Amino acid sequence: MVDVGKLKLLVKWDGATVIGTEIRSTRPMAAQILKGKTPAQVLHIVPLLFSVCGKAQTAAANAALHMAQQTSMEIASTERLIVCEAMQEHLWRLLLDWPKLLDLQPQEKIFAGWFALLRKIAAGEVGMEVFLHEFEHVGLGDVGASLLAKLEKLACNGTKDSRMLPAWSAAEAQQSCAGKWDANFSARPEWQGGAAETGARTYYADSPLLRDAPSNVLSRVRSRILDVVEMASGNAAPRLDVFSPAAGEGVAVVRTARGLLIHHLRLEQGKVADYTIVAPTEWNFHPDGAFVQDMRGLQEQDGQRLLQLAHIAALSLDPCVEYEIEVIHA
């Protein structure tokens, strides 16, 4: 089994205010394994490396390879796989993880039914209209309302401005990241000299539903619900985009549930000369990223409540690996 690493989030607290946050990551830079491999080997290895957002990772690798080789690929079925996976991820958080964290009733039965239905849609066995009909009938209903009400009552993490990563196309990603494609950028990506947040919140940054959110956390959760609705109704922007800046070079960008996933590769003599993967977790849990910004200067005198607020902030950003949070008394 591949070791995907984990995050250790250390919140330093003086008894009244958060005075610092440290992020320790043991996540391996998986793309390094792909150097020297043939395209066929890459497509065999990538699904083995990523259990979370595996469809998105595989699609990004496949698309980047096709662009580098200047060959065509079937987009519609790939897009359907990515959409269904993103919806499953959103519903997992909204119906299971958030209720557990906030002492609400998880909706295992509804989630299991929708998860299975989305799997059938991904396989092309039924159309998205089947899910949409059921979703409109059942909806998130009381679950979503209770979740949002609880988060609003907690009023956690304020409304500090967080730099938003644009929802790049593949060409825009290449333009912004050219010359930076390496392991260091994968581990600590920056845009215009600083950290930036990515996620559904950045996909719908102009939506009126997000403008009046009293906290960053509420904005992120609202955006997840909105993303499910938009994908189910077919109104969401395409989730996959590709670009080739030069012969033998390919860039793929996928809008996953957690944020932008970017694959960049360069082929030489039929093998991978360079491969870079930039995942949403590295943007959002950058040493000066969105989680750190949420925690910075947070005033709280109750250590247990502070720990809860830290878990709420982390879940709103949804790292793709296990994480643990420790409040350190300074």
User: What is the full DSSP assignment across 78-128?
Assistant: HHHHHHHHHHHHHHHIIIIIHHHHTT----HHHHHHHHHHHHHHHTTSS-H
30: how many CB neighbours lie within 10 A of its CB?
20
Q: Is residue 234 part of a domain?
A: yes
Per-residue pLDDT of the chain (330 residues), as tens digits, is 466 789 999 999 999 999 999 999 998 888 899 999 999 999 999 999 987 889 999 999 999 999 999 998 888 999 999 999 999 999 999 999 999 999 999 999 999 999 999 999 999 999 999 999 888 888 777 778 889 999 988 765 555 667 999 999 999 999 999 999 999 999 999 999 999 999 999 999 999 988 888 889 999 999 999 999 999 999 999 999 999 999 999 999 999 999 999 999 999 999 999 999 999 999 999 999 999 999 999 999 999 999 999 999 999 999 988 999 999 997
Q: Is residue 129 part of a domain?
A: no
CATH number of the domain bearing residue 295:
1.10.645.10
Q: Is residue 260 part of a domain?
A: yes
**Residue 89: what pLDDT?**
97
- Please state, in angstroms and rounded to a whole number, the distance separating the CA atoms of residues 105 and 121: 27
Cα-only R_g, the chain:
20
Instruction: Provide the phi-psi class of 85: left if phi over 0, else alpha when psi is between -120 and 50, else beta.
Output: alpha
**Residue 141: what pLDDT?**
75
Q: Is residue 68 part of a domain?
A: yes
Q: How many domains, in total, are found in the chain?
A: 1
Q: Is residue 87 part of a domain?
A: no
State whether residue 302 is helix, strand or coil: coil
Q: Which are the contacts of 71, defined by CB distance < 8 A and separation ≥ 6?
A: none
Q: Is residue 91 part of a domain?
A: no
Q: Is residue 109 part of a domain?
A: no
Q: Is residue 59 part of a domain?
A: yes
**Residue 139: what pLDDT?**
76
- Please state, in angstroms and rounded to a whole number, the distance separating the CA atoms of residues 89 and 82: 11
Which residue segment(s) compose the domain that 225 sits in?
Answer: 6-74+162-329
